[in-house]
Amino acid sequence: MSHSVIKVPLSAIDQMKMTYSGSLTASVPQGAVFQAKPPGCTITAYKSGKVLFQGKNAAAESARWGTAEPQEKKKTAKKPADPRYVPPANIAGMSVIGSDEVGTGDYFGPMTVVCAYVDKTMLPLMKELGVKDSKDLKDPQIIEIARNLIKTIPYSLLVLKNDKYNSMQEKGMSQGKMKALLHNQAITHLLRKMDGVKPEAILIDQFAEPGVYFNHLKGRDIVKERTYFSTKAEGIHLSVAAASIIARYSFLMEMDKLSREAGMTLPKGAGPHVDEAAAKLILKKGASALRAYTKLHFANTQKAQRLAAKKRS
């Protein structure tokens, strides 16, 4: 049986307890704050900030929260999360705007950012509609849930088409900066739509340190009040899960549209099957066509060009 130990700030222990709220044990060992048994792992968090993970999934589970330090190695000081941006412990029950993005790792298709507002009175309905971590949902379920969500909750959707993405990228803008701009813009739009209704918190699924995020937005109107960041935020508030489902739904619809335009099915991801599809698209429409369908700076572009050249000869 494998095990691993990490040390985290106490605020992170609250967050962990919330994340594992579905698998907490009835009693806790002496000196422990909580014990939880998610699949393949027993987690015990102590008042000292030490957290013990045991079982076959111990390494994977502990990696979500920190780096296990081997006994002999010198401790490397890991920068703790900036407490100003750590979500409050009771955020799960609050009225929250959640924000998430999709399509950043896919060669084909747009980058899509969605933020959605879930009032606390709507939390039970969200559960009833099947809102949960979109990684646990198949595409047909995502489509069904999203179609209900967009009729039920206020949201803002931004689709950064490939042409636009490529020009921004060529001007030297990083993907991180594009994400920051889109999240901030989507949240701004949504707050305007909500017409005076103030969320108790804004929760962004963290893709960069908060300092980096706000730095990207320098010189703009930045939404900063009661704004929090967390990785795996889909598990922290249903508004992020809802945003993620709508974003994925929109991405799927955009991919269908692009596939129809291209006259072939454009695959998701960035693996070898994507190189093959891109090569086929080059042979069909010429290399310049990639601009409207793909994120050109990905390594897939060169691979596809080589494949297409090989097929031509």
Binding site residues, Mg ion, CB under 5 A: 100, 205
Which residues is 101 bridged to in the sheet? 113
For the chain, the distance separating the N- and C-terminal CA atoms, rounded to the nearest angstrom, is 55
Looking at beta carbons only, is 248 or 303 nearer to Mg ion?
248
CA dist., res. 278 & res. 300, Å (int) = 8
Shortest gap between Cβ of 246 and Mg ion (angstroms)? 13
Between CA 127 and CA 138, with CA 133 as vertex, the angle to 5 degrees is 100
Shortest gap between Cβ of 33 and Mg ion (angstroms)? 28
CA dist., res. 173 & res. 111, Å (int) = 14
Q: What does each C-alpha distance from 114 to 19, 120, 159, 204, 206 come to in angstroms?
A: 22, 19, 9, 10, 14
Residue nearest to Mg ion (CB): 205
Looking at beta carbons only, is 237 or 303 nearer to Mg ion?
237
Looking at beta carbons only, is 234 or 254 nearer to Mg ion?
234
CA dist., res. 26 & res. 20, Å (int) = 13
Looking at beta carbons only, is 14 or 205 nearer to Mg ion?
205
Residues ≥6 apart with Cβ < 8 Å to 295: 106, 107, 111, 162, 165, 166, 169
Name the residue among 301, 306, 298, 292 with its Cα closest to residue 110: 292
Which residues is 157 bridged to in the sheet? 114
Looking at beta carbons only, is 54 or 112 nearer to Mg ion?
112
Shortest gap between Cβ of 286 and Mg ion (angstroms)? 34
CA dist., res. 197 & res. 188, Å (int) = 13
Looking at beta carbons only, is 126 or 243 nearer to Mg ion?
243
Shortest gap between Cβ of 101 and Mg ion (angstroms)? 6
205 annotated as ligand-binding: yes
Shortest gap between Cβ of 100 and Mg ion (angstroms)? 4
101 annotated as ligand-binding: yes
Shortest gap between Cβ of 26 and Mg ion (angstroms)? 33
Report the Cα 115 to chain-centroid distance in Å. Answer: 11
276 annotated as ligand-binding: no
DSSP-assigned letter for residue 130: T
Binding residues for a divalent metal cation: 100-101, 205
Binding residues: 100-101, 205
